[in-house]
Homo-oligomer: A and B are copies of this chain.
């Protein structure tokens, strides 16, 4: 075990990341290794806010004990955010989860070139405050997760900076067209073309006209900023892979608080829920081969060359054997939700693009999540078939208006990687949070970190002869686990931080 850690530590120093297998079939997971000679974009480590000594960093990698790391008493994150993490049970040498929690300020871009501001901290502390929480669940290496945890919030901040003058004027809808200087551009008086004759089918609502301008809300503009920032993050990983070793890919879940609204953006299979009055409000959907089956099949159907003559876009309930040619098999294609029988032809003997059920479902027998950042070099094992075209880096963004609800001290946003949720349900998390916090001194600044630790333990369990076990003797999660518990009280617009 010591040698394993030593090995890990020498890797840390040397900047070489071992390749993990999370979300990957053991037979595959072929990141190209030609980048081993490049330096890492960022060195391996745990989140800065944990402030680990080298000894503690080494200790954090012990798969045998899986220590739970939490915030130290005295070290404060914004909003008294609680945090806990633990490494996996051995599936990868390092903890491939990463996390970030930052308060930054949105302001107009200065004359400087954007790239040079990417790592800028908060400067003079003026601008519109933005709180950011991110968790990044890496696979096939930790490079992409680390890079995203260092940069994503800066990309979001900078893109918001470009529309800063609109954010400062939230009462008026964003202009549809902007001149180069950012001011609204008024086109000629005539509105988009000749008027069409009155339609007898028309509903008597003047807002529903054929030639119209859609009214776009400031909220959907912020959503668009977050969506495009994820894309930019993904592009940046690809671009910098020519200069740095940036291994693997990662799911990305981010919560952004801006001007009284909480934007929760999810690309992958991490999950966030709000617990209000012990009720669960889901803030994310998971993106997996099962939940995105039809999107992936549709792409395989429209662009069969992406399947490399090895895969079929049609789904079957199991592998077909050669002896079954000419028989009838249940199937469904990209258009179907139900199942029907089809006569098996030679082409159906190819491996299905989507195969497996639940946690074992895979795209091209390789990856178990369908959205995230990175993975640009990910190929099907022993082939030249790239998987990236099937993966999306775009998050689904849900908005929660903090001003519309009253929040007590036990109302929180819980963000966790799949290691948390695989063994603990939303309802169990809500009950655990409510039970734990109600017994906690409301003035203890550590209460949310202690609650996060409690949640983590419920999913990790304790090590027994037969592996990590929960109190009910079911298997605990062997995965990396990361949890934020973020209190929601006191953050309505009127109570400026």
Contacts and interface: CB of A to CB of B under 8 A. Distances in A.
Interface centre among A91, A192, A327, A338 (most CB of B within 10 A): A338
A6 to B, nearest CB: 21
Interface stretch (A105-113, A176-184, A270-278): A176-184
Copies of the chain in the assembly: 2
A478 interface: yes
A336 B221 contact: no
A180 B327 contact: yes
A227 B423 contact: no
Interface string A218-256: 001111111110010000000000000000000000000
Nearest to A323: B187
Interface stretch (A198-206, A374-382, A484-492): A198-206
A299 interface: yes
A317 interface: yes
A26 to B, nearest CB: 6
A25 to B, nearest CB: 7
Given A212-B356, A318-B213, A337-B396, A328 B224 contact: no
Given A25-B196, A216-B339, 10 more contacts: A91-B201, A174-B339, A178-B329, A207-B357, A212-B356, A220-B339, A223-B337, A299-B302, A337-B396, A337-B397
Interface of A: 21-22, 25-27, 88-91, 162-163, 174, 176-180, 185, 187-188, 191-193, 196-197, 199-205, 207-216, 220-228, 231, 295, 298-299, 302-303, 316-319, 321, 323-324, 326-330, 332, 335-341, 356-360, 392, 394, 396-397, 422-423, 474-475, 478-479
